[in-house]
A = this chain, B = another copy of it.
């Protein structure tokens, strides 16, 4: 029995690659996105009432590194949370490599505009196909006595420092893009995107693309990050 779905919208986000995407969307409020509805749902009628809602669920396809129906099933995954070495069951993890490639994120609804939703706190790759949009229902969805021993707390944050010139570049491009580029870089890097098992020398350079920018940084010490440059990609 096979189920066939069509995207109802597409997400336009700052994230052009998986590296450095926040592991949970709430951790990067400066990560904004446009959710653009596709025909036949590109009508304000389909959104009527959403102005009364502060947060929405996005159900989407994890469209990079798709698990194909004929792939050997992956029953266990190595979540980055556990250092990338320990394996747990795929259904005990939110890992992106999973059966049916379905993702689920709650984001803050900032603005509704004709047939687009502007949201913040996203962890979606640019171009992600959106399969459904549902209002967050606090009395049902916010389970305050729930516990999760694997992901009990927000990951610890790493200090993000700036080379003076990089900060000026980020400010400049933020104005050009009308986006909080400084905040986005700080929030993404504070989660320390490098694999947990790496202990890089201060000479090693890391980079990621955000919006149309290449962001370059290094680790001056084991527990801090310094942004070195923010330049057009």
**Residues of A in contact with B (beta carbons under 8 Å apart):** 1-8, 24-26, 40-41, 43-50, 52-57, 59, 61, 69, 73, 75-76, 87-94, 98-102, 104, 106, 129, 131-154
Contact = CB atoms under 8 A, between A and B. Distances in A.
B138 A148 contact: yes
A124 B142 CA distance: 19
A134 B26 contact: no
Nearest to A56: B91
Contacts of A142: 141-144, 146
Specify the main secondary structure of chain A where it touches its partner: mixed
B50 A91 contact: yes
A106 B48 contact: no
Given A46-B90, A141-B146, 20 more contacts: A2-B6, A40-B73, A44-B89, A45-B75, A45-B89, A46-B75, A46-B89, A49-B89, A49-B92, A54-B145, A54-B148, A55-B146, A94-B134, A94-B137, A100-B131, A104-B104, A138-B143, A138-B146, A140-B151, A144-B144
Given A1-B7, A75-B45, A54 B147 contact: yes
Contact of A92 (B50, B129, B138): B50
Interface-centre pick from A91, A151, A152, A154 (highest chain B CB count, 10 A): A91
A129 B3 contact: yes
11 contacts: A2-B6, A4-B4, A41-B75, A48-B92, A49-B92, A53-B148, A100-B132, A104-B132, A106-B140, A135-B151, A139-B151
A151 B137 contact: yes
Nearest to A151: B137
A159 B90 CA distance: 43
Contact of A4 (B2, B99, B145, B146): B2
B132 A99 contact: yes
Given A5-B100, A92-B52, A136 B129 contact: no
Given A7-B1, A100-B132, A131-B3, A59 B59 contact: yes
